[in-house]
Amino acid sequence: MINWRLGLGVILTGLLVLVAIFGPMLAPYEEDYVKPSGYYYNSNDDFGVISNPTPPSSEHIFGTDQYGYDILTLLLYGAKYTLLVGLLVALVIVIGGLLGLINGIRSKNEKVGSSFGLLGSIPAFIIIYFVMVGIVVNSSLTMIDLIILQSVLMTIVGIPGVYAAVFSKTKELKKNLYITASHSLGARSFRIAWKHLLPHLKGTLMVMFVKEIILVLSLIGQLGIFNIFLGGTILRLGGEGVYLSVTHDWAGLIGQWRSFVYDYQWVLLYPLLAFVLVIFSFYILSRGIELKDKHGFKKYPHI
Amino acid sequence: MKFLLSILGVFVLIFALVAFPLAIEIMGGELSIDFSVMLDLTKAYLGGIFTGESFHYKEGVDRNPNFFATIPDYLLTSFLYLAVAIILAIVISLLISAWFSRSRKEWMKDIIGFFGMVPDFIMVLFLQLGAVFFYQTTGLRLARIATRGVDEHAILLPLITLTIVPTIYLIRSLSERTYDVLTDDYILTAKAKGLRKIYIFVQHVIRNVLPYLKADLHKVIAILMSNLFIVEYLFNISGLAGFLFNTGEYQFNLTTNILITLVVLYIVLYWFIRLFIACLERIFAHD
């Protein structure tokens, strides 16, 4: 059977990467283009008000937001931050998780994984929230600094999970006789990891990497809901505070427009759909890799 | 001993986190952290425990209510949402995983897995948009999309969101376990004896899956706690997590107290679910 999931996943993620790279060139408007609002008067029967947000039309495919920014343009400009940070952070997390491989080979105790117990009561994004909340709003730090800071935090928060997974998987594989044989022939743990375990774990690690991208994106999104936007938050005071994303990364856009539920729904709907598309692409890619990798021992149920 | 250490660790983490926004200083693009502020705040809090100072917070301009007087309502609200959600999740996932473990349809796994990966906030926003869209097209009010005031609680949509994510996590892990159990020899023996399928499931499969459920419990509750923040915030529910973000100005004592109460909620919820599983064991695994 053809692995259509892998194909679809590769095509979709490829397209997303292209959008991230060439987005600003494809954008129909400049990043700071604002659709002017005002009155128009053609005749006695044909007059009215031009106001924002305007619904999707041929001029503005995804419509405009409350200030008149073109939503498609903002999405195209913001794509690179969302995707790049997701990819890089996930990569670093998986590389960090490889420590679990070495530790899994070396450690003698049979207890698999470590339970963080009560730490589960404080979710990861709350930790990042409290660290970032005093820094990110109207910050004098540069956008790049803020992105790096948040990426580092997300990496720290993400590594333990991958580490534990790799660790327990290594423990499981270590029971195989060929590892014992290789070990008694004098192989060091690095050689065992490189020659015997990595080929086994390659598929799992790829799947983990792609899933970790989704987890990192969710984390960015959850922070965005609480106005911690990737790359900085602009807080406009004077009346009710308005939080705006500096980079227009997709999670930030969802966060800043999250209250468009009752009316003008397109403002919220299109960024949401874009975000779901990203999640879907990476998910279907991970499924494709998973199925490709699925071989070896299979058990069959008796009833 | 291990338990005490983990409690101590959580407390240190909470104090450090809550003090962090007050301890940092950003001057001209330079970030500096003043650790002495963290220590002072923690000391002041610990000292205030005996005078009761730490348990009063500022509300509005001049009110100064006692934390213990207001918190039970918030705690109860959060607890009820979580408890109902997790019990629904356990029951649904036990039922579904019995069937799902035998399913060889990859597209079912695709769909279930995808719903497991969709972040909670996306689900909340889509449910809200969906409810509004349904109302605008048909004029029927399906569900409240936010809690308003003290009597109009949003119940259906928050519960759906809180249930879906742990359910899918449990379906995936339990269906693997169920599959393993189904391949075991005692199932073959039972089948050879001519016992009915439903009997084998009730008497042998479920009771052997329950221990895995117990082992997964910490993970499930951790997932739920993280969902709780998003759900309470977006549905405007006045539970603990909602309280945390609606305190007006940033108050060290209040925020610390709320986070500590969240840990309490975690422990209470954990033992509540253990009790529930013990009840299930009475039903399925009595000898």
For the entire predicted model, the pTM comes to: 0.88
- Would the pLDDT of A1 be above 80? no
Sort B191 into a burial class: Cβ within 10 Å, 0-12 / 13-18 / 19+: middle
Peptide bond into A160 cis (omega under 30): no
Positions in chain B whose pLDDT score sits under 70: 286-287
C-alpha angle with apex A43: A37 to A45, nearest 5 degrees? Answer: 90
Give A 199-218 residues with CB within 8 A of chain B. 211, 214, 217-218
Chain A CB within 8 Å of residue B17 CB: yes
Residues A164-199 have pLDDT tens digits of: 888 888 888 888 888 889 888 988 888 888 888 888
Instruction: Determine, for residues B10 and A119 on separate chains, whether the beta-carbon distance falls below 8 Å.
Output: yes
Cβ atoms of A166 and A100 closer than 8 Å: yes
Q: How far A133 CA lies from chain B's nearest CA (Å)?
A: 7
Give the mean model confidence (pLDDT) for residues A54-69: 80
Q: Give whole-number Cα distances, A144 to A9, A249, B36, in Å.
A: 30, 13, 28
* Helices of type H across chain B: 2-23, 35-51, 67-100, 106-117, 120-138, 156-182, 185-192, 197-200, 206-234, 240-245, 252-284
Instruction: Determine, for residues B17 and A127 on separate chains, whether the beta-carbon distance falls below 8 Å.
Output: yes
Q: Give whole-number Cα distances, A298 to A225, A294, A295, B183, in Å.
A: 43, 9, 8, 10
Q: How confident is the model at residue A2 (pLDDT cuts 50, 70, 90)?
A: low
DSSP letters for B142-180: ---SS-BTTTB---HHHHHHHHHHHHHHHHHHHHHHHHH
Cβ atoms of B97 and B175 closer than 8 Å: yes
DSSP letters for A81-122: HHHHHHHHHHHHHHHHHTHHHHHHHH------S---GGGGGS
Residues A256-288 have pLDDT tens digits of: 888 888 888 888 889 999 999 999 999 999 888
- Would the pLDDT of A97 be above 60? yes
Nearest to A130 among B21, B29, B197 (CB): B21
Q: Which of B109, B122, B220 to mutate to test the interface with A (most CBs of A within 10 A)?
A: B122
- Would the pLDDT of A62 be above 80? yes
Give B 50-109 residues with CB within 8 A of chain A. 101-102, 106, 109
Q: Helix %, strand %, coil % for chain A, to 5?
A: 60, 5, 30
Q: What is the pLDDT of residue A300?
A: 67
Q: Measured in Å, how far apart are chain A's first and last C-alpha atoms?
A: 27
As beta bridge partners, residue A69 has A34
Phi, psi angle pair for B16, to nearest 5°? -65, -45
Residues A238-263 have pLDDT tens digits of: 777 788 888 888 888 898 888 888 88
**Rounded to an integer, what distance in angstroms lies between the CA atom of residue B130 and that of residue A259?**
14
Cβ atoms of B245 and A227 closer than 8 Å: no
Q: Give whole-number Cα distances, A300 to A38, A297, B178, B184, B190, in Å.
A: 70, 10, 12, 10, 16
C-alpha angle with apex A216: B167 to B110, nearest 5 degrees? Answer: 45
DSSP letters for A211-278: HHHHHHHHHHHHHHHTT--TT-EEEE-SSS-EEEESS--HHHHHHHTTTTTSS-THHHHHHHHHHHHH
Count CB neighbours of A116 within 10 A: 18
Residue listed under structure tokens 């422990």: B267
**B77-283, CATH topology level:** MetI-like fold (1.10.3720)
Q: How confident is the model at residue A12 (pLDDT cuts 50, 70, 90)?
A: very high
Q: What is the pLDDT of residue A278?
A: 92
Q: Which of B117, B182, B230, B259 to mutate to test the interface with A (most CBs of A within 10 A)?
A: B117
Cβ atoms of A73 and A253 closer than 8 Å: no
**Core vs surface per residue B129-139: b (16+ CB within 10 A) or e:** bebbeeeeeee
**Rounded to an integer, what distance in angstroms lies between the CA atom of residue A157 and that of residue A93?**
9
Q: What is the pLDDT of residue A295?
A: 53
Give B 185-224 residues with CB within 8 A of chain A. 187-188, 191, 197, 200, 218-219, 221-222
Give the mean model confidence (pLDDT) for residues A218-241: 85
| 3-state SS assignment for residue A50 | strand
Name the percent of chain A lying above pLDDT 90.
Answer: 15
CA dihedral A243, A247, A248, A253 (to 10 degrees): -40
Does the model's ipTM exceed the 0.95 cut?
no
